[in-house]
Structures are given as structure tokens and as C-alpha cells.
């Protein structure tokens, strides 16, 4: 491979960590007045870099020197890495290594984490020994533009200044939006602050919270079990030791964990991967992780909160230079989670917005095997949340009228509404008024009747096909919601699913999941002849998830045209294949097309049930599993009765109307 072709490959990888390392090395060479080394001129330079990123800097330095290697010449460069440890018995000393390299090496880089790690002979002969600067706003902005196409606002990037390269590289991945990358970078600065367990203080208990459903029920049961455990009535083995709480941002996952600690009258130890990463290199991270669990065990019984659990990643989907890093971090967490006696008295609560991005081993029995999704609050819950945050103010106000206008709002948004209303009253030096609440309501856009009906068909499509394919897909629809008014994000509806444990992960399983995901688009096509943009446009949309599943079948699971394992399951790896390989893209498109046609066929065949669900969504805005099941099953019974009548009348049996509409589509 020629140097030129290799350079194109390196650039094409767009690894954010590597880009940052090369940029900071280049800046250091310019600052030290030795940039000429990258122009194929002789030179010897040492770099002082953070310990946790040293390996990455070594790889970056090798790549940079190789890129600027003279064509057709043998390698005239080398990169040394000094860790501070003495050479092993039988190996040459550091001074001997340097002396051996000097006669045949024109360009020599050395990477170290401490000035004291650099041997004396290298100090004498080096042109410069430079401390590499930390990541600043300029290089952060640049790497976002190179990898993701655009950079967020400077104030959003500011918390990530100075963050470790391996953490930035794990967050800024091709295929993600800048906003998704920022979510993974959040808290890196604040994480450096030490955490202390929170003792139950004045605040809401589970009884004061609204809209948490199954999660709150689990919490009340846990409180009873912990009380019995502390009293010696039951062993620790009989207590639920962990749960994963998922849901969209702002629904109150952390608030629930805090209320759970108050209800159980135990301490809450709050931690996250970002907080542990801020302690330093991998070894320091693992020490901080083990210390967090050890501190919790000393304070048992207690609750240990692991925020943004998906940030640990998935070993099956990891690749590249940080694969080993992710593997060791997850293995460390599994060691802390494993065993009944090893963490007796410690209940682990993990929170996440993306449960499907969590390593499967974390969710296995005995670890965090219980998963509860927290939905957006319904009308009654919105009233309860608003009343809680208003306290004794406005006791006679008809809050349901205001709650209707908060359709689709999270608990955090409702709390913000109450806070903004009180601020208006304070500035006016008077008690809180209803007008203050109305003035604080978020700007909403009321959908036209036609647009609202399209949303209803979209969500009804998910619900109906999801119900009929629930066994094959391993999930069932719990509720479908269609909003009359939408906020700034324009989201007009949502269908929630419960994932059934133990389902077979076969080709049929994934095809059924894709069919359910595309059923919203299919329902729009059935009803209106075409579909709108509501099924795609952003990360985690129906179209995005369906595409990633189809790509995983082809590239990761051996369920496509080949058995070969070609890629991990991470979105950025799959997207790179889709963009770069036309044949893979055609196979994925074929899966999507077939599943879309299958969804259309199902909806055409069950059009009466689809219309019934749509009518309920138009009238009430929400349907639950029992109503979905009744709509489908009752129509199936009617269809059977109709078929029996037709079978008893030969003249009707020959009617073309007996053939279900859409039967030409394959199932």
C-alpha cells in the first residue's frame, strides 16, 4: 500500500479521538518550533500526554510520521512509549534502546506521561520536549465539523473542554447527530467533583409522585421488602437488587430514584460513567467504580444510582482503538454487579434514554434484569404533577383545563411551568394568578384536522401490526397516543411497547420488528396514498431504527446474504458500511421494502380494525393494549361470521369482494 492510499484510508475513518490527537500533536510541534519533522526533515521530539490517552497518542504519532514518509524509502522513523516502568529482566534499558535507534532513525517521537519517565539520554539529544495541551473549544468545534458535519453552539461545547480524548472519541461518532454526541459528553466537567451519598431530605416520596405507574408500584414493594430485610424477616436474596428505568429525557427517572430513597428511608449514592472517567485513565476509572460500590456496601442498605447506563456501551458493537477500553469498563461493572453476597444491601438503579444500547450482559438475571419504561404523563398525572409543584397556591383553579394544554409534556417541563409562573408573580410583587400559568405555557401548534388524522393513522398502524406480530417480534404495544397540539419538536404521537423476555432472536424476529417499525408509514400509505416525513428525519426515528436492524441482520448477525461477521451493532459502524458499500445498501433496502409491503398487506386485510383504533385516537387521543386487542379481535370475529355467511351462499362466494383488499402484497 502506498503512503498516499494509506492516508486516504486514515482520513476516511474519521475517528474523532485520532483526529484530536493528531491536531494536538501538530499544535505542539508548531509551538515547539519543530514542525519541520512533518516535512520529512530530521528531528527528535518528546511529548508529555495524559496517561489515559497515551496509547492513542502513540498510534496518532505513528500515523503522522508514516504519512510524511518519503516514497519508496524504508521506514526512517520510530515512536517510543515510556510508561515509567523499568524494563523487564533481560530487555535493553531505555538508554540502550535510544542509542540503537539513533544511527538508523532520522525522525524519532517519544510519548510519556511524566517528565521523569523520559530517560536522560533522550533529554540530551532531543530537539524539544513538549507538553501537549488539553482539548480546547477550537479543536472541539473542528472535530465536530469534520466527523458530524456541523458543530453545536460554543456554550454547549464548553463543558467538554479538557475532556479525555478516549471519552470524546467514544461520544463523537459518525452516524450520530451533534445533539446525540453532546448528550454523551454532558457532565464531563461536573463529573470531576466528588460525590457523597444523599441522605433522605425533605422532598417528594413515591406517594407524592404522579404518572410513574409500574415503576412507582415496584418502588413501594421494594420499600416493604427493605423494611423486612432490615428487621431480619427476609434474607437479602428475596429482595429485588436492581432495575433499569428508561424513558425520554425529562420524564423524571432521577427524581424517581431520589423519591425511592426517601420512601425506603435509605441513602442514595449517585454515580455515572462520566464521573468515573473524570478520575483519570482506565485504571483510575476502575478504582473509582469499585470504590463507589464499596462505599455503598458500607452504607447498606442503600440505593446506588447509575445515571445514563447506555454510556457504558455494548461490547458486541464496539470496534476500533477503544474496543478494549469499552470491554474492560463493562467487565469491571459486571464484577461489581455480580453475586448476591458481594453487594448485599445495595439496590442498583440504572437510568437510560436508550435501553437497546445497553450491553446485554448487564441486563442478565441477578444483575439489572428488571426493566420498566416511564411513559410521558397522561392527563391525570399532569394534573397531579402540576398540583404538587404549585403547593397551596391556586387551590380552586381548574387545573385539568391547563393540563390539557400540556399534552405531551414531561414532568420536568411541568415543573418548569410552575417555576416560571411563580417568577412572574414575584416580579409583579403579588400572589400567583392563573394568568401567570397561562403566560408560562409552552408555545404549542394545534394540528389541522387532516394532520391530526394522519398522526392517528400512523400510531394506529404501529399498534395494530404490533399486536398481530407480538409473538414474532417479542414485544407488544402497551399504548398509542396522538396529540392535538405539538411543541417545538413537532412530535405528534407515540406508541409504547413492552419487550417480552425470552423471545427467540431469529431472522423472523427481526423482520417482524422492522415490519412493526414501518407500520406507521404503511398506515399513512394505505389511508392517504403516500406517507409524510414523520417516520424519519432524526436519530431513533422509526426509519432509523428499522434501517439499523436490517443492517445488523446483514453485517452482524449472519441473518442476511452471508454468514460473515463484518461489523459491530453500533450505529456509526453500520452507517459507515451503508454509505460505503452499495451491495449492502441494496440488501438493506430490500429488507425494508419487503417489510413495508408486509405491513401494508396486514393493514389492508385488517382495515376495519385500523379504522376503529383511529377513531378512538381521534376522539380520546390515547388507546391502551386492551382496547387495541378488543378492536382487532372483535373485527376478526365479525370477519369469521361474514365468511361463514358467504360460504353458505354460492352466489356471494363468487363475488370479487371476497378477496381481501391488498392481498396481492406478500406476507
Band the pLDDT of 10: cuts 50, 70, 90. Answer: very low
Residue 485 CA from chain centroid, whole number: 27
Cβ atoms of residues 297 and 345 within 8 Å:
yes
Band the pLDDT of 665: cuts 50, 70, 90. Answer: very low
172 or 408, higher pLDDT: 172
Q: Write the DSSP assignment of 189-247 as a string of letters.
A: TGGGS---PBPP-SS--GGG--S-HHHHHHHHHHHHHHHHHHTTSS-GGGS--EEEEE-
Lookup: cell for 264: 425506603
- Round the average pLDDT of the chain to a whole number and report it: 83
E strands, 53-144, in order: 77-82, 107-112, 128-131
Cα 527 from Cα 285, distance rounded (Å): 54
Q: Which position has the grid cell 473542554?
A: 161
For residue 462, the model assigns a pLDDT of 96
Cα 666 from Cα 279, distance rounded (Å): 56
Length, in residues, of the chain:
667
DSSP structure class, residue 534: G
Cα 570 from Cα 322, distance rounded (Å): 13
User: What integer is the mean pLDDT of 82-98?
Assistant: 72
**Does the pLDDT of residue 540 top 70, yes or no?**
yes
Cβ atoms of residues 362 and 331 within 8 Å:
no
Band the pLDDT of 127: cuts 50, 70, 90. Answer: confident
The CATH architecture that domain 379-442 belongs to is Orthogonal Bundle (1.10)
Identify the top-confidence range among 259-273, 514-528, 624-638: 514-528
Q: Is-catalytic flag, 459?
A: yes
For residue 225, the model assigns a pLDDT of 94
Cα 111 from Cα 447, distance rounded (Å): 60
For the chain, give the percent of residues with pLDDT over 70: 86
Cα 558 from Cα 278, distance rounded (Å): 38
Identify the top-confidence range among 21-35, 184-198, 636-650: 21-35
Predicted structure pTM score: 0.56
- Which listed CATH number (2.60.40, 3.40.50, 3.40.390, 3.30.70) goes with 3-131? 3.40.50
The CATH architecture that domain 200-373 belongs to is 3-Layer(aba) Sandwich (3.40)
Least confident of 55-69, 218-232, 403-417, 641-655: 641-655
CA distances from 325 to 22, 169, 286, 321, 356 (A): 20, 12, 11, 8, 20
Cβ atoms of residues 265 and 393 within 8 Å:
no
Cα 366 from Cα 425, distance rounded (Å): 51
Band the pLDDT of 176: cuts 50, 70, 90. Answer: confident
Q: Single out the catalytic residue among 308, 407, 459, 554.
A: 459
Band the pLDDT of 660: cuts 50, 70, 90. Answer: very low
Q: Which position has the grid cell 508529555?
A: 48
Cα 373 from Cα 212, distance rounded (Å): 9
**Does the pLDDT of residue 339 top 70, yes or no?**
no
For residue 221, the model assigns a pLDDT of 93
Cβ atoms of residues 346 and 300 within 8 Å:
yes
Listed in sequence order, the residues at least 6 apart from 194 whose beta carbon sits closer than 8 Å to its beta carbon are: none
Band the pLDDT of 455: cuts 50, 70, 90. Answer: very high
- Among 116, 636, 573, 510, smallest CA distance to 322 is for 573
Cα 512 from Cα 553, distance rounded (Å): 12
In 3-state terms the chain splits into helix, strand, coil percentages (rounded to 5) of 55, 10, 35
Residue 224: how many other CB atoms lie within 10 Å: 12
Least confident of 261-275, 388-402, 488-502: 488-502
- Label residue 343 exposed, middle or buried (CB < 10 Å: 0-12, 13-18, 19+): buried
Lookup: cell for 507: 431472522
Cα 288 from Cα 294, distance rounded (Å): 10
Cα 523 from Cα 121, distance rounded (Å): 74
**Domain 449-631 falls under CATH 1.20.58.760:** yes
Residue 651: how many other CB atoms lie within 10 Å: 7
Confirm whether 379-442 and 449-631 share one CATH topology: no
**Does the pLDDT of residue 654 top 50, yes or no?**
no
Cα angle for residues 50, 110, 82 (degrees, 5° grid): 65
Q: Write the DSSP assignment of 568-632 as a string of letters.
A: -S-HHHHHHHHHH-HHHHHHHHHHHHHHHHHHHHHHHHTHHHHHHHHHHHHHHSEEEHHHHHHHH
Residue 185 CA from chain centroid, whole number: 12
Q: Which helix (H) or strand (E) holds 269?
A: strand 267-272
Cβ atoms of residues 531 and 521 within 8 Å:
yes
Cβ atoms of residues 264 and 205 within 8 Å:
no
Widest CA span of the chain, in angstroms?
104
- Cα Rg, the chain, nearest whole Å: 29
User: What integer is the mean pLDDT of 518-538?
Assistant: 92
Lookup: cell for 163: 475532556
- Pairing label, strands 493-499, 475-482: antiparallel
Domain regions of the chain by residue span: 3-131, 137-163+170-191, 200-373, 379-442, 449-631
Amino acid at each position: 500500500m502506498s503512503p498516499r492510499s494509506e492516508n486516504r484510508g486514515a482520513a476516511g475513518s474519521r475517528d474523532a479521538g485520532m483526529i484530536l490527537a493528531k491536531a494536538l500533536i501538530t499544535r505542539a510541534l508548531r509551538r515547539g518550533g519543530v514542525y519541520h519533522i512533518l516535512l520529512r526533515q530530521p528531528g527528535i521530539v518528546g511529548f508529555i500526554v495524559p496517561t489515559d490517552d497515551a496509547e492513542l497518542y502513540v498510534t496518532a504519532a505513528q500515523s503522522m510520521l508514516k504519512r510524511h514518509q518519503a516514497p519508496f524509502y524504508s521506514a526512517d522513523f520510530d515512536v517510543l512509549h515510556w510508561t515509567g516502568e523499568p524494563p523487564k529482566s533481560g530487555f535493553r534499558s531505555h538508554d540502550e534502546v535510544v542509542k540503537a535507534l539513533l544511527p538508523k532513525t532520522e525522525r524519532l517521537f517519544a510519548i510519556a506521561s511524566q517528565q521523569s519517565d523520559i530517560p536522560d539520554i533522550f533529554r540530551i539529544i532531543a530537539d524539544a520536549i513538549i507538553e501537549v495541551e488539553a482539548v480546547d473549544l477550537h479543536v472541539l468545534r473542528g472535530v465536530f465539523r469534520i466527523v458530524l458535519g456541523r458543530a453545536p453552539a460554543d456554550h454547549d461545547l464548553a463543558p467538554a473542554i479538557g475532556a479525555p480524548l478516549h471519552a470524546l472519541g467514544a461520544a463523537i461518532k459518525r452516524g450520530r447527530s451533534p445533539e446525540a454526541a453532546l448528550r454523551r459528553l454532558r457532565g464531563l466537567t461536573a463529573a470531576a467533583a466528588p460525590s457523597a451519598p444523599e441522605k433522605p431530605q425533605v422532598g417528594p416520596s413515591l406517594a407524592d409522585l404522579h404518572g410513574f405507574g409500574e415503576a412507582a408500584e415496584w418502588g413501594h414493594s421494594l420499600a416493604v421488602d427493605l423494611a423486612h430485610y432490615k428487621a431480619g424477616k427476609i434474607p437479602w436474596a428475596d429482595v429485588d437488587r436492581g432495575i433499569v428505568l428508561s424513558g425520554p429525557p425529562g420524564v423524571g427517572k432521577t427524581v424517581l430514584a431520589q423519591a425511592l430513597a426517601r420512601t425506603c428511608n435509605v441513602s442514595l449514592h449517585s454515580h455515572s460513567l462520566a464521573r468515573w472517567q473524570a478520575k483519570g485513565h482506565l485504571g483510575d476509572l476502575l478504582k473509582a467504580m469499585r470504590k463507589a460500590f464499596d462505599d455503598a456496601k458500607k452504607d447498606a442498605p442503600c440505593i446506588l444510582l447509575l445515571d445514563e447506563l447506555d454510556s457504558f456501551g455494548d461490547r458486541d458493537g464496539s470496534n476500533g482503538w477503544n474496543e478494549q477500553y469499552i470491554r474492560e469498563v463493562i467487565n469491571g461493572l459486571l464484577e461489581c454487579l455480580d453475586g448476591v453476597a458481594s453487594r448485599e444491601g445495595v439496590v442498583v438503579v440504572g437510568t437510560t434514554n436508550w435501553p437497546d444500547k445497553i450491553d446485554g450482559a448487564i441486563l442478565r438475571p441477578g444483575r439489572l434484569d428488571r426493566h420498566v419504561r416511564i411513559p410521558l404523563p397522561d392527563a391525570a398525572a399532569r394534573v397531579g404533577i402540576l398540583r404538587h409543584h404549585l403547593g397551596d397556591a391556586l387551590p380552586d383553579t381548574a387545573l385539568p383545563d391547563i393540563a390539557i394544554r400540556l399534552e405531551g409534556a414531561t414532568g420536568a417541563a411541568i415543573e418548569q411551568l410552575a417555576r416560571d409562573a411563580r417568577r412572574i408573580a414575584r416580579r409583579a410583587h403579588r400572589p400567583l394568578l392563573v394568568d401567570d400559568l397561562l403566560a408560562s405555557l409552552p408555545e404549542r401548534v394545534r394540528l389541522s384536522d387532516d394532520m391530526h388524522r394522519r398522526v392517528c393513522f400512523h400510531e394506529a398502524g404501529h399498534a395494530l401490526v404490533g399486536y398481530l406480530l407480538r409473538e414474532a417480534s417479542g414485544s407488544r404495544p402497551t399504548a398509542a397516543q396522538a396529540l392535538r397540539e405539538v411543541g417545538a419538536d413537532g412530535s405528534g404521537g407515540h406508541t409504547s411497547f413492552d419487550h417480552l423476555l425470552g423471545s427467540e432472536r431469529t431472522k423472523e424476529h427481526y423482520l417482524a420488528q422492522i415490519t412493526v417499525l414501518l407500520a406507521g408509514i404503511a398506515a399513512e400509505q394505505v389511508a392517504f396514498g403516500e406517507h409524510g416525513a414523520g417516520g424519519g428525519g432524526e436519530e431513533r426515528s422509526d426509519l432509523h431504527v428499522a434501517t439499523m436492524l436490517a443492517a445488523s441482520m446483514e453485517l452482524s448477525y449472519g441473518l442476511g446474504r452471508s454468514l460473515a461477521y463484518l461489523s459491530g451493532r453500533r450505529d456509526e459502524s453500520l452507517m459507515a458500511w451503508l454509505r460505503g458499500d452499495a451491495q449492502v445498501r441494496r440488501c438493506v433496502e430490500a429488507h425494508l421494502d419487503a417489510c413495508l409491503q408486509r405491513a401494508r398487506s396486514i393493514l389492508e386485510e385488517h382495515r376495519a380494525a385500523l379504522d376503529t383504533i383511529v377513531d378512538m385516537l381521534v376522539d380520546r387521543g390515547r388507546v391502551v393494549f386492551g382496547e387495541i386487542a378488543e378492536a382487532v379481535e372483535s373485527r376478526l370475529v365479525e370477519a369469521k361470521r361474514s365468511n361463514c355467511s358467504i360460504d353458505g351462499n354460492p352466489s356471494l362466494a363468487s363475488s370479487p369482494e371476497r378477496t381481501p383488499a391488498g392481498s396481492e402484497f406478500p406476507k
